[in-house]
């Protein structure tokens, strides 16, 4: 008999964090799951850790492939699921989960019959767990059997790992991992204010693709993901979706795009060129006049981006980084 839940974990060069991630999955109070580990061509010891874990716990199994990127690794995991599993979820291999996460999410779907459930997240730092500002709006309160029309803030939630999908719903979306909005496609979704995921902030060493990483694919994929949601909102004819779009664009300007600011000083010429090209395209689509109403620091950085004055941008960002670090040291003293 197939397990009820399939967990897919894409793995790439995370030997420092992988054991903790897999331990948090193995410790789930909901035990009826399989875990497909997809080694995406790691060059460190990640594959050996995954192989050892699969050898000691039969719920885990390892699939290996040449490096193809995060989305492709998720799709590979999807292709290797056991037939007949009822639910599907994804975990990034440097993150962790509270022990009751899947018990809560599966029991919620059992009760409601919704197409998927999405939960709140906490940022995992060396100093402990802290709220995720990117999730605070959409997950301020729990709502069962809801829809994006009732909770417009859900359009800002594009992370894969804070959800458990009904397998039949996900499979109907096709083999390519959906990078755009899923909320409209669902008849109903469940939203949980309780944190069900610990999203790591890497404070030393190599950095993940969802943080301040200097792989150009990170900024290219994130901007394209934002554009897909905008295209969907623009295609809607209902009047309320104009306000949804305005709210979504504001969130993009004040929360989404500023996450890339911190990586620009560390990036090489290729990364900086990718940032300038793709962020500028998105800014022009949103409307450069929207920049005028933003706080002074954001206005300055967006104007420098549009003008392709990247050396000046780097100097400004480094200064802001120094100021922030100084304030952090003073606060800790």
Which CATH number fits the domain that encloses residue 99? 3.90.550.10
Domain that holds residue 171: 5-200
Res. 174: pLDDT tops 90: no
Q: What is the pLDDT of residue 114?
A: 97
207 within some domain: no
211 within some domain: no
Summarize pLDDT for 77-107 with one digit per residue, the tens.
999 999 999 999 999 999 999 999 999 999 9
Q: What is the pLDDT of residue 41?
A: 95
In this structure, are 308 and 226 located in the same domain? yes
Which of 200, 233, 249 finishes a domain?
A: 200
Q: Average pLDDT for residues 202-220, to the nearest whole number?
A: 64
316 within some domain: yes
Least confident of 74-88, 111-125, 208-222, 312-326: 208-222
Q: What is the pLDDT of residue 212?
A: 39
Instruction: Using a cut of 0.85, tell me whether the model's pTM lies above it.
Output: no
- Which residues are CB-neighbours of 331 under 8 A, at least 6 positions away? none
Least confident of 40-44, 70-74, 91-95, 279-283: 70-74
Instruction: Give me the percent of the chain exceeding a pLDDT of 90.
Output: 64
Q: What is the pLDDT of residue 203?
A: 64
Least confident of 174-188, 189-203, 319-333: 174-188
In this structure, are 239 and 170 located in the same domain? no
User: Band of the pLDDT at 210, cuts 50, 70, 90?
Assistant: very low
In this structure, are 42 and 158 located in the same domain? yes
Q: Average pLDDT for residues 319-324, to the nearest whole number?
A: 86
Give the dihedral sign, CA 311/315/321/324: negative
Q: Average pLDDT for residues 55-59, to the nearest whole number?
A: 97
Q: Average pLDDT for residues 131-156, to the nearest whole number?
A: 88
205 within some domain: no
Report, in angstroms and rounded to the nearest whole number, the Rg of the chain calculated over CA atoms: 20
Phi, psi dihedral angles at 303 (to 5 degrees): -65, -40
SS3 at position 268: coil
Q: Do 11 and 94 form a contact (C-beta atoms < 8 A)?
A: no
In this structure, are 232 and 111 located in the same domain? no
Least confident of 99-113, 160-174, 307-321: 160-174
208 within some domain: no
In this structure, are 123 and 264 located in the same domain? no
Q: What is the pLDDT of residue 213?
A: 63
173 within some domain: yes
Q: What is the pLDDT of residue 209?
A: 46
In this structure, are 280 and 324 located in the same domain? yes
In this structure, are 261 and 170 located in the same domain? no
- Nearest CA-CA partner of 229 in 291, 289, 182, 174: 182
5-11 and 87-90 beta bridge pairing: parallel
* Residue 199 β-bridge partners: 123
209 within some domain: no
In this structure, are 186 and 302 located in the same domain? no
Task: Please tell me the total count of domains within the chain.
Answer: 2
Q: Do 50 and 91 form a contact (C-beta atoms < 8 A)?
A: no
In this structure, are 226 and 188 located in the same domain? no
Summarize pLDDT for 8-45 with one digit per residue, the tens.
999 999 999 999 999 999 999 999 999 999 999 999 99
- Nearest CA-CA partner of 118 in 166, 168, 162: 162
Q: What is the pLDDT of residue 3?
A: 97
Least confident of 7-21, 69-83, 199-213, 248-262: 199-213
Which of 200, 235, 263 finishes a domain?
A: 200
In this structure, are 167 and 312 located in the same domain? no
Which of 140, 168, 200 finishes a domain?
A: 200
In this structure, are 141 and 33 located in the same domain? yes
Give the dihedral sign, CA 41/44/47/48: positive
Using CA atoms, how far apart are residues 26 and 43, in angstroms rounded to an integer? 25
In this structure, are 159 and 52 located in the same domain? yes
């Amino acid at each position: 008999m197939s397990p009820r839940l399939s967990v897919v974990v894409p793995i790439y060069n995370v030997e420092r964090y992988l054991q903790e991630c897999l331990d948090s999955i193995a410790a789930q109070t909901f035990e009826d799951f399989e875990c497909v580990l997809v080694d995406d061509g790691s060059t460190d010891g990640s594959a050996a850790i995954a192989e050892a874990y699969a050898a000691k716990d039969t719920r885990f199994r390892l699939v290996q492939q040449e490096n193809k990127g995060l989305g492709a690794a998720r799709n590979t995991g999807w292709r290797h699921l056991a037939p007949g599993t009822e639910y599907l979820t994804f975990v990034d291999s440097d993150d962790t989960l509270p022990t009751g996460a899947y018990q809560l999410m599966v029991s919620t779907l059992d009760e409601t019959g919704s197409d998927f459930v999405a939960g709140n997240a906490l940022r995992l730092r060396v100093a402990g767990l802290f709220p995720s500002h990117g999730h605070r709006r959409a997950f301020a309160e729990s709502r069962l059997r809801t829809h994006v029309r009732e909770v417009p803030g859900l359009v800002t939630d594009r992370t894969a790992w804070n959800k458990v999908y009904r397998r039949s719903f996900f499979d109907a979306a096709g083999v390519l991992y959906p990078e755009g909005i899923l909320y409209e496609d669902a008849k109903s979704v469940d939203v949980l204010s309780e944190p069900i995921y610990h999203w790591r902030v890497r404070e030393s060493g190599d950095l993940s693709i969802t943080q301040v990483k200097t792989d150009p694919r990170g900024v290219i994929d994130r901007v394209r993901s934002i554009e897909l949601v905008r295209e969907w909102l623009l295609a809607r004819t209902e009047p309320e979706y104009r306000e949804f779009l305005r709210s979504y664009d504001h969130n993009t300007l004040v929360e989404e795009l500023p996450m890339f600011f911190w990586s620009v000083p560390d990036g090489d010429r290729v990364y900086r060129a990718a940032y300038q090209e793709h962020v500028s395209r998105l800014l022009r689509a949103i409307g450069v006049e929207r920049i005028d109403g933003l706080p002074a620091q954001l206005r300055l950085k967006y104007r420098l981006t549009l003008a392709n004055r990247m050396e000046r941008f780097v100097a400004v960002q480094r200064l802001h980084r120094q100021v922030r670090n100084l304030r952090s040291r003073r606060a800790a003293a």
